[in-house]
Amino acid sequence: MRSSIDRPRFFSSSGRRPLGAPDSHRTPAARGSNPNRTAASMAEAARQGRRFGGVEDAPAGRENDLKAIELARFAVAEHNSKANAVLEFERLVKVRQQLVSGLMHHFTIEVKEGGAKKTYEAKVWEKAWENFKQLQDFKPAA
């Protein structure tokens, strides 16, 4: 007779589910996520006046913030490479923000196109903790 050490294990030590099976049947707390942490972060955001999902005006002076300008320049550069365009960043006119998984920056940008100044609206999704930024939308302002 073979011992339990010799037998291949197809089931977890509890014998209830196959090895490698997802634990989707377990509660969030049992999987390790903390619902209180999510509630606490939402409460902190509410105290700071932010709401999840809603697009809100950025604090005054954000148009002159170097990080916002860098992201707006990134939006113009990404649009130029994707659309084979030659737009030149002039200035950041308006900044709005949306709290998502990270921040969605809504920019109104003034650019130079063939000598003429035009205004565009851009959306840049940023997750700073992952060093991630992506152009979501770039279109002429209405």
Q: How far apart are CA 105 and CA 136, in angstroms?
A: 10
Looking at residue 53, its pLDDT comes to 75
- For domain 55-140, give the CATH number: 3.10.450.10
pLDDT of res. 35 = 45
Query: pLDDT tens digits, residue range 68-100?
Result: 999 999 999 999 999 999 999 999 999 999 999
Q: Where are the domains of the chain?
A: 10-49, 55-140
CA distance 95 to 57: 6
The average confidence (pLDDT) of the chain is 79
Q: Which tokens sit at 102?
A: 């990270």
Q: Structure pTM?
A: 0.64
What pLDDT, in 10s, does the model give residues 15-58?
Answer: 555 555 554 444 444 444 444 445 555 555 555 665 667 889 88
Q: Enumerate residues 6+ apart whose C-beta is below 8 A from 92.
A: 63, 64, 68, 69, 72, 107, 108, 109, 110
Interval 46-57: pLDDT, tens: 556 656 678 898
